[in-house]
Amino acid sequence: MNPRQPFVNLERLSWTAGCLLLALLPHLKSLPAWIISTIALATGIRLALAWHGRSLPPAYLRLAVSATAIALLFIQFRTFNGIDAGTALLSLMAGLKFLEARSLRDIRIIILIVYFLSLTALLVGTSFGLLFYLLGVCWLTTAILLRLTLSQPAPGLRDSLLFSARLLLLALPLAAALWLFFPRFSGPLWRLPSADSAAQSGLGDRMSPGDLSELSLSDEVAFRVRFDGAAPPPSQRYWRGPVLEDFDGRSWKRSESAQIGAPAPQPLGPAYRYTLSLEPHHHPWLLALDWPAQWDAPRAYLTPERTLLQSEPVNQPLDFNAVSHTQIQDESELDARQRRRDTRLPQQRNPRTLALAQRLRAQSGGDAEFAQAALELFRRETFFYTLTPPRLALDSVDEFLFDTKRGFCEHYASAYAALMRAGGVPARVVTGYQGGTYNRFAGYWIVRQSDAHAWNEIWLQSRGWVRADPTAAIAPERIERGSEALYGMDSAAAGTWSPLLEEFGLRMDAMRQLWREAILRFDQGSQMSLLRSLHIPEPDAQKLALLLAAALACTSVWLSWQLQSGLRSRHTDPAAIAFARLRKKLQTKGIAERPSETALELAARVRLQRPDLAERVGELCRQYNELRYGRSGVAAHAIRQYADAVRRFKA
């Protein structure tokens, strides 16, 4: 080990371990458990050795552990390249390096890895709060790096934090210049593949009574929508997802279709243009306003059921523009194969529902009258809307319609589709979302998982597939919400705090959406738009590079000016002014002033040239070093005393 590199103590090891822990927190879900355990074990062993003053483990043991760990990592990832494997390798290197840390050089290497781990977390994560968390990690890590100085005593934590914040603020203009003008890829920087598709959220391709209850209680955002103009009324604000057509008597599921595309029906009413910002839900379907007519999502196509699908799951945030018509008309004929599928019911299941449908059908004229009679049944009978319905047995539709009469949207959609099919009317269940919350601070709609919904579509001659929502047929006064139990507060407190909390939540969501639109979606096209907004004719990559060079030059000039200002401020220090006066007094006695000379070097030269002045000059130089480079927060009276001592000194 270099003799000039001192041994590290427990305090420095503890601070470094804390920075490493903070940098690893965003990676805990993606890192293998054995790597996390290895890092924790290595760090714990090193801190325990420092606590007891023991020596490090033998070199051969550390080498064997490192070789084994890296070999296991390669076996698991089959490579050292890529975000996941590279992050795992960096994390493992930091933990293993901690096990052998004995000098400040080792600690600085670990801190350098902490910076890289923060960068990889920012590349993978797209959260609005993650950036501020990582900035805090870098702020604290820089402050700890400042404390790991060879000068003794080390600067205090408060001074280190203040100086670290100043460094980060000085770096902001340089970061902004690189962000705006450094040449980009054709897509956003954050559009990176993600291997994490295990967590399932949102709608599935199968529905049984009770499946949507968890989504109905979730406040998680499903997507956001910004309309180019007026939004459709609430009665037409249905967001189309998977269409379920196969029914086994209890559960509905998607029917696999080999056909891609769908016949274009005749649109009715206005066309709504909008931009939809979809959150990751790890399924291949894209949510769109019912019914989608145009879209610019890459690799997306429309199924015969008029659901937007793409070739791969949505594992990253996705933004696309679309045009939809909330009302359509299809005068084509329903082919025999699809009619058989959409009227098929399992035998020996739900017999009471079959008998009820036959009675309603006998009392009705045509398909439309029969569909309306079924909706009137829900309005007339004592049905209740609740998110906590009783469990249903095998014949779930019979139990719901005749026994419990309590449920939420999927119960009503399943029962209505079964009634329609039992009466010979083709019917299917559509899952998606309905409604949304308007963010008045940013001008867009927020659709949450609590807006998950299920409704029906029935086939009527000369009209095509027509939306029918049995849930909407229930009177509002019969709906059970239970908001007081949900928020855990009494009505008075809810009335006081709910508007404030709602406003705060909307403002925070507006900031998150701004982060997504201005930062996450900033790509090559955005850079060209920026050049056009600066009135640069015919913007291209060459002009972008020239603008980057100009921005870096201006930033460098500004940083140089800041540095010169800092150097000039040193000459306004009362201690520095007093020491300069001491130099001039010594210059009158033949001791020439040397600007690059330190105080201790000056004292050594005085000892050789004027031994009679050595004791007094040496004491003044020692006091000057303590005032300038010693402990922080020197009292003003100490500086005044030093200035008086220099004034009294006579060479």
Q: Length of the chain, please?
A: 651
Residue 3 has pLDDT above 50, yes or no: no
Question: 3-class SS at 587?
Answer: helix
Mean pLDDT, range 166-186, rounded to an integer? 81
How does the average pLDDT of the chain come out, rounded? Answer: 81
**Pairwise CA distance, residues 429 & 401, whole Å:** 17
The two tokens of residue 160 are 């280190």
Residue 191 has pLDDT above 80, yes or no: no
Residue 405 has pLDDT above 80, yes or no: yes
Phi, psi of 313 (to 5 degrees): -65, 155
Q: How many CA atoms lie within 13 A of 311 on its CB side?
A: 2
| pLDDT confidence of residue 262 | 53
For the beta carbon of residue 21, count every other beta carbon within 10 angstroms: 14
- Please, which pLDDT band fits residue 202 given cuts at 50, 70 and 90? low
| pLDDT confidence of residue 5 | 47
**Highest mean pLDDT (candidates 460-474, 525-539, 588-602):** 460-474
Q: Which amino acid is at 379?
A: R
Question: 3-class SS at 461?
Answer: coil
Domain ranges in the chain? 10-155, 206-481, 482-519, 571-648
- Helices 33-52 and 59-77: crossing angle in degrees, nearest 10, is 160
Active site members: 409, 453, 469
Alpha-helical segments (H) within 100-221:
104-124, 128-147, 157-181, 213-216
Phi, psi of 162 (to 5 degrees): -65, -45
* 206: β partners: 253
Mean pLDDT, range 566-582, rounded to an integer? 72
- Please, which pLDDT band fits residue 458 given cuts at 50, 70 and 90? very high
**Pairwise CA distance, residues 283 & 286, whole Å:** 8
Q: Are 203 and 448 in contact (CB under 8 A)?
A: no
Residue 208 has pLDDT above 80, yes or no: no
Question: Looking up tokens 């791969």, which residue turns up?
Answer: 312
- Please, which pLDDT band fits residue 272 given cuts at 50, 70 and 90? very high
- Contacts with 34 (C-beta within 8 Å, 6 or more apart), sequence order: 72
- Contacts with 82 (C-beta within 8 Å, 6 or more apart), sequence order: none
**Pairwise CA distance, residues 473 & 406, whole Å:** 14
- Contacts with 65 (C-beta within 8 Å, 6 or more apart), sequence order: 42, 96, 99
Mean pLDDT, range 410-414, rounded to an integer? 89
**Highest mean pLDDT (candidates 338-347, 505-514, 542-551):** 338-347
Residue 584 has pLDDT above 80, yes or no: yes
Selected residue with higher pLDDT from 256 and 342: 342
Question: Looking up tokens 């600085």, which residue turns up?
Answer: 108
Selected residue with higher pLDDT from 199 and 95: 95
Portion of the chain with pLDDT greater than 70, in percent: 86
Residue closest to 431 by CA, chosen among 237, 233, 238: 238
Residue 420 has pLDDT above 50, yes or no: yes
**In three state form, how does the secondary structure of 55-84 look?**
CCCCHHHHHHHHHHHHHHHHHHHCCCCCHH
The two tokens of residue 174 are 């340089």
Specify the range with the lowest mean pLDDT, choosing from 21-30, 37-46, 630-639.
630-639
The two tokens of residue 416 are 């209505």
| pLDDT confidence of residue 263 | 60
Q: Are 415 and 403 in contact (CB under 8 A)?
A: no
Q: What is the pTM of this model?
A: 0.66
**Pairwise CA distance, residues 215 & 202, whole Å:** 7
- Please, which pLDDT band fits residue 651 given cuts at 50, 70 and 90? low
Specify the range with the lowest mean pLDDT, choosing from 106-110, 236-240, 557-561.
557-561
Render pLDDT for 81-136 as a digit per residue (tens, 0 to 9): 888 888 999 999 999 998 888 888 888 899 999 999 998 888 777 777 888 899 99
- Tell whether the torsion through CA atoms of 384, 477, 374 and 289 is positive or negative: negative
Say which DSSP state 595 is in: T
- Please, which pLDDT band fits residue 243 given cuts at 50, 70 and 90? very high
- Helices 574-587 and 636-648: crossing angle in degrees, nearest 10, is 10
**Pairwise CA distance, residues 44 & 53, whole Å:** 14
Say which DSSP state 443 is in: T
- Please, which pLDDT band fits residue 194 given cuts at 50, 70 and 90? very low
Render pLDDT for 479-526 as a digit per residue (tens, 0 to 9): 333 333 333 433 443 444 577 887 888 888 888 888 777 777 777 777
**Pairwise CA distance, residues 182 & 165, whole Å:** 25
Render pLDDT for 42-96 as a digit per residue (tens, 0 to 9): 999 999 998 988 888 888 888 998 899 999 999 988 888 888 888 999 999 999 9
Mean pLDDT, range 253-263, rounded to an integer? 63
Residue 353 has pLDDT above 70, yes or no: yes
| pLDDT confidence of residue 45 | 92
Dihedral angle computed from the Cα positions of residues 110, 161, 45 and 77, in that order, rounded to the nearest 10 degrees: -40
Residue closest to 279 by CA, chosen among 494, 480, 477, 128: 128
CA 614 and chain centroid, separation: 64
Q: Are 158 and 29 in contact (CB under 8 A)?
A: no
Mean pLDDT, range 440-465, rounded to an integer? 89
